[in-house]
Amino acid sequence: MHQGDQDGQKGVYHINAVDCVTQYQVVATCEKISEAYLIPVLKEMIEAFPFVILGIHADNGSEYINYQVAKLLKKLLIELTKSRPRHSNDNALAESKNASVVRKHLGYAHIPQVFAQEVNTFCREHLNPYVNFHRPCFFPRTVTDAKGKEKKSYRYEDMKTPFEKFKSLPCSESCLKPGVTMAQLEKMSLSKT
């Protein structure tokens, strides 16, 4: 997501990755959308998730769908899929998080590219822990009627933080990356309030 132009100068770019099961989210910022800037940011983002990533669904942009990204993901055993042309709801969860998290906290105003590293540090140290350990999300409850039609309802009693949702999964312990423990994540969830 682009952070605006000013006087012909491009602003920083925010990359937003959202897990579709837990809504665990990692936001990162880079100076430009090119392989030289994007590959290190993608590596950092993948490492920031406490659990194993099985696949990445990207939009159709050439910054994501290219040989270097495919090589990186193949090395990490991560499947890459892409959105269909003219199907804007393929990445609906990430798009909604762009508005409710990224734009809400980082705004719409131009941020010069020279501040990309500082903004990325803010995201890593403050924004990402906040949205994953302290900001509750709605999780749908699906009910199927007699005709087989599914209806989703979003109830307040089903709200959880992404970390709470992850903990509630039966396989949460076995999905953690090597070297990451549930105790470490619990400690992180209590470190900032």
Eight-state DSSP code of residue 8: T
Q: What does the pLDDT look like over 140-176, one tens digit per residue? A: 899 999 999 999 999 999 999 999 999 999 989 999 9
Q: What is the pLDDT of residue 57?
A: 75
Q: What amino acid is encoded at 124 in this protein?
A: R
Q: What is the pLDDT of residue 66?
A: 64
Cβ atoms of 33 and 57 within 8 Å: the answer is: no
Q: What is the pLDDT of residue 165?
A: 95
Q: What does the pLDDT look like over 128-141, one tens digit per residue? A: 999 999 999 999 89
Picking from 146, 143, 181, 186, the residue whose alpha carbon sits closest to that of residue 164 is: 186
Q: What does the pLDDT look like over 77-124, one tens digit per residue? A: 777 766 666 666 667 777 777 777 888 888 888 888 899 999 999 999
Q: What is the pLDDT of residue 87?
A: 63
- Give me 5's structure tokens: 């132009």
- Which residues touch 136 (CB under 8 Å, ≥6 apart)? 159, 160, 161
Q: What does the pLDDT look like over 41-76, one tens digit per residue? A: 888 988 999 998 888 777 656 555 666 777 777 777
The whole-angstrom separation of Cα 58 and Cα 82 is 5
Q: What is the pLDDT of residue 10?
A: 82
- Choose which CATH entry (3.40.50.720, 3.30.1370.160, 3.30.420.10, 3.30.70.20) describes domain 1-193: 3.30.420.10
Cβ-based burial of 101 (10 A; exposed 0-12, middle 13-18, buried ≥19): buried
Q: How many CB atoms lie within 10 A of CB 126?
A: 12
- Tell which wins on pLDDT, 182 or 88: 182
Q: What is the pLDDT of residue 95?
A: 73
